[in-house]
Structure 1
Amino acid sequence: MCIAVFLWLAHPLYPFFLLHNRDEYRSRPTEPVAWWDNGEILGGRDGLAGGTWLACSRNGKIAFITNVTEVGNVPEPKSRGELPIRFLESKKNPMEFAEEVVMEARQYNGFNLILVDLSCKSMIYVTNRPKDDQALVSEVPPGIHVLATASLDTPWPKAVRLRTNFEKFLEKHGGGELLAKEMADTLMTDATKADKTTLPGIYSIEFEYPLSSIFVEVNTERDFFSGPYSTRSMSVVSAKTSGEVAFYEKYLEEESWIEHMESYMVEHTGTG
Structure 2
Amino acid sequence: MCIAVWAWRSHDEYELVLLLNRDEYHERPTEAVSWWGDGEKRILGGRDRVAGGTWLCCSKDGRLAFLTNFREPDVCPNLKSRGDLPVRFLESTKSPLEFAEEIAKEADQYNGFNLIIADLCLKVMAYVSNGPKGKPTIVQLVTPGLHVLSNANLDTPWCKAQRLVQNFEKLLMKQEGDVPLKEMAEKLMQDTTRVDQDQLPNTGCGLEKESLLSSIFIDIDNDQGRYGTRSTIALCVRENAVTLFERYLESGLWKEHTFQYQIESMCQKEG
Which residue identity is paired with 1:26? Answer: H
Equivalence for 1:260: 257
Equivalence for 2:127: 125
Partners of 2:77 and 2:9 lie apart in 1 by 39
Equivalence for 2:13: 13
**Structure 1 residues 64 and 170: alpha-carbon distance in aligned structure 2, compared to 1, 3 A threshold:** same
Equivalence for 1:4: 4
The correspondence of residues 196-235 of structure 1 with structure 2, limited to 5 A, is: 196-202=197-203, 203-219=205-221, 221-222=222-223, 226-235=224-233
**For each residue in 1:194-225, what CA deviation from the matched residue of structure 2 results, as whole angstroms up to 9, or x when unmatched?**
11111112221211111110011113x24xxx
RMSD: 1.6
Partners of 2:162 and 2:134 lie apart in 1 by 20
**For each residue in 1:23-76, what CA deviation from the matched residue of structure 2 results, as whole angstroms up to 9, or x when unmatched?**
110000100000003162100000111000000011000000111001223462
Partners of 1:165 and 1:234 lie apart in 2 by 16
Which residue identity is paired with 1:247? Answer: L
Equivalence for 2:187: 186
**Structure 1 residues 250 and 269: alpha-carbon distance in aligned structure 2, compared to 1, 3 A threshold:** same
Alpha-carbon shift at residue 131 of structure 1 (Å): 9.2
Partners of 1:230 and 1:254 lie apart in 2 by 14
Moved more, 82-91 or 70-79: 70-79
Equivalence for 1:43: 45
Alpha-carbon shift at residue 130 of structure 1 (Å): 5.4
Which residue identity is paired with 1:215? Answer: F
Structure 2's unaligned 5+ residue stretches are none
Equivalence for 2:241: 244
Please say if residues 130 and 137 of structure 2, whose CA atoms lie closer than 8 Å, have aligned partners that are also in contact: no
Please say if residues 130 and 136 of structure 2, whose CA atoms lie closer than 8 Å, have aligned partners that are also in contact: no
TM-score (norm 1): 0.93
Partners of 1:29 and 1:54 lie apart in 2 by 16
Please say if residues 33 and 45 of structure 2, whose CA atoms lie closer than 8 Å, have aligned partners that are also in contact: yes
Partners of 1:257 and 1:13 lie apart in 2 by 31
Equivalence for 1:169: 171
Please say if residues 70 and 113 of structure 2, whose CA atoms lie closer than 8 Å, have aligned partners that are also in contact: yes
* Structure 2 residue 98 is matched with structure 1 residue 96: yes
**For each residue in 1:74-125, what CA deviation from the matched residue of structure 2 results, as whole angstroms up to 9, or x when unmatched?**
4621111001001001111101111110111111010000000000000000
**Structure 1 residues 145 and 132: alpha-carbon distance in aligned structure 2, compared to 1, 3 A threshold:** farther
Partners of 1:183 and 1:75 lie apart in 2 by 35
Q: Percent identity?
A: 52
Which residue identity is paired with 2:55? Answer: W
Partners of 2:181 and 2:76 lie apart in 1 by 37
Please say if residues 104 and 137 of structure 2, whose CA atoms lie closer than 8 Å, have aligned partners that are also in contact: no
Partners of 1:75 and 1:53 lie apart in 2 by 18
Q: Tell me the number of residue pairs that the alignment of Structure 1 and Structure 2 aligns.
A: 264
Which residue identity is paired with 2:262? Answer: M
Structure 1's unaligned 5+ residue stretches are none
Alpha-carbon shift at residue 135 of structure 1 (Å): 5.9
TM-score (norm 2): 0.93
Please say if residues 74 and 107 of structure 1, whose CA atoms lie closer than 8 Å, have aligned partners that are also in contact: no
* Structure 2 residue 31 is matched with structure 1 residue 34: no
The correspondence of residues 38-187 of structure 1 with structure 2, limited to 5 A, is: 38=38, 40-74=42-76, 76-129=78-131, 136-173=138-175, 176-187=177-188
Partners of 2:98 and 2:37 lie apart in 1 by 26
Please say if residues 32 and 44 of structure 1, whose CA atoms lie closer than 8 Å, have aligned partners that are also in contact: yes
Partners of 1:13 and 1:133 lie apart in 2 by 38
